[in-house]
C-alpha cells in the first residue's frame, strides 16, 4: 500500500524526468506544477511548509530512480549491534547511503566503521528491503541492502553520527526507528535461516507486464475532411487521363 509520502515521491520523480528530458517550455511549466502538487501530497504526512518540500525536491533533481542504502548486521554471543540515531533518538542498524562507485558490501563495511568504530568483512547479503513495504521514513523511495558482517577489529565507540552504540539480545530489542521496526526482526530471521529476503511481486506489480491497449485518437471533423481531400487528390494523380 502506497503512503502519501511515496505517492508524492513518484509524482516528484515523474516531474524531474520531465524537466530533465523535455525541451518544451510549456511542458516544463507543467512539470514544475506537478512538483508543487507532489509537495502538497507529501504534506499529508510531513509537517513541513510546501516551499521547503519543493526546495528539497529540487535539490534532488537528478534522483529519478530509487535511492539505495546499505545496513550492517553484526551479531556476537546471540546479541545484535545497534546504533542510537541522533535524528530520532531511536535504535537502528548501522547504515547509510551507498556512494557512487561503491559495492553494497563496501558501503556496509564503511558505514559500520563510521558509526561504530568497528572494522569488519562481509559474510553475505541478508536481504533487499523496499521502503514502501517496510515503512522507511525517507522522503524518497528507498531500497535498503542488509549485509551480515563479521567483526575483525576496532574499538566500539560513538561517533559524530550516533548517540550510543550497544549490543542487544536478539529476543529483547529496544524501541527501533521507523522502518527498522519491521526490518530488523526479518533480518534476524534471515540470519538464522540462512536464506536471503527479497520482496516478491504482487498481483498489482504483475499488471506492469501487460502492454496497454492501443488507444485510437479522436479525430476532429476538419482533420478527417482534409485527409479525405488529400486522398482524393492522390487518386486523381494516379488515374490516367482519357485519350
- Backbone dihedral region for residue 64 (phi beyond 0: left; psi -120 to 50: alpha; all else: beta): alpha
| pTM, to two decimals | 0.63
150 has pLDDT over 60: yes
Task: Give percent of the chain above pLDDT 70.
Answer: 76
Looking at the structure, do residues 43 and 84 belong to the same domain, yes or no?
no
Question: Can you tell me which residue has the cell 558482517?
Answer: 149
How high is the pLDDT of residue 216? 58
Give a yes or no: residue 84 inside a domain: yes
Question: Which residues make beta-bridge pairs with 144?
Answer: 69, 129
Give the range with max mean pLDDT: 108-117, 201-210, 218-227. Answer: 108-117
Give a yes or no: residue 239 inside a domain: no
137 has pLDDT over 70: no
Looking at residue 46, the DSSP 8-state letter turns out to be S
Looking at the structure, do residues 36 and 119 belong to the same domain, yes or no?
no
Question: Can you tell me which residue has the cell 479525430?
Answer: 219
Looking at the structure, do residues 102 and 136 belong to the same domain, yes or no?
yes
Of residues 73 and 62, the one with the higher pLDDT is 73
Looking at residue 166, the DSSP 8-state letter turns out to be E
pLDDT class for 122, splitting at 50, 70, 90? very high
Count of CA atoms in the C-beta half-sphere (13 A) of 24 = 5
Chain-centroid distance, C-alpha 44: 19
Last-in-domain residue among 178, 198, 218: 198
* pLDDT tens-place string over residues 14-69: 887 787 777 788 888 888 888 888 888 888 877 778 788 777 776 665 556 778 89
160 has pLDDT over 90: no
CB atoms within 10 A of CB 92: 23
Number of domains comprising the chain: 2
168 has pLDDT over 90: yes
Amino acid at each position: 500500500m502506497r503512503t502519501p509520502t511515496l505517492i508524492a515521491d513518484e509524482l516528484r520523480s515523474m516531474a524531474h524526468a520531465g524537466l530533465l528530458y523535455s525541451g518544451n517550455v510549456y511542458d516544463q511549466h507543467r512539470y514544475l506544477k506537478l512538483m508543487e502538487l507532489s509537495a502538497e501530497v507529501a504534506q499529508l504526512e510531513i509537517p513541513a511548509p510546501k516551499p521547503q518540500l519543493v526546495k528539497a525536491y529540487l535539490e534532488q533533481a537528478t534522483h529519478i530512480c530509487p535511492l539505495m542504502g546499505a545496513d550492517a548486521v553484526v551479531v556476537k554471543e546471540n546479541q545484535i549491534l545497534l546504533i542510537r540515531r541522533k535524528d530520532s533518538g531511536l535504535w537502528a542498524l548501522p547504515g547509510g547511503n551507498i556512494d557512487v562507485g561503491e559495492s553494497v558490501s563496501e558501503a556496509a563495511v564503511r558505514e559500520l566503521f563510521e558509526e561504530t568504530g568497528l572494522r569488519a568483512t562481509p559474510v553475505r547479503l541478508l536481504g533487499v528491503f523496499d521502503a514502501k513495504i517496510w515503512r522507511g521514513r525517507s522522503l524518497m523511495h528507498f531500497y535498503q541492502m542488509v549485509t551480515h558482517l563479521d567483526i575483525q577489529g576496532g574499538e566500539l565507540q560513538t561517533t559524530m553520527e550516533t548517540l550510543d552504540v550497544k549490543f542487544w539480545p536478539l529476543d529483547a530489542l529496544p524501541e527501533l526507528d521507523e522502518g527498522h521496526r519491521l526490518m530488523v526482526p526479518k533480518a534476524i530471521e534471515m540470519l538464522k535461516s540462512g536464506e536471503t529476503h527479497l520482496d516478491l511481486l504482487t498481483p498489482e506489480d504483475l499488471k506492469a507486464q501487460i502492454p496497454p491497449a492501443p488507444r485510437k485518437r479522436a479525430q476532429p471533423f476538419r482533420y478527417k475532411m482534409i485527409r479525405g481531400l488529400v486522398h482524393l487528390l492522390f487518386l486523381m494523380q494516379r488515374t490516367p487521363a482519357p485519350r
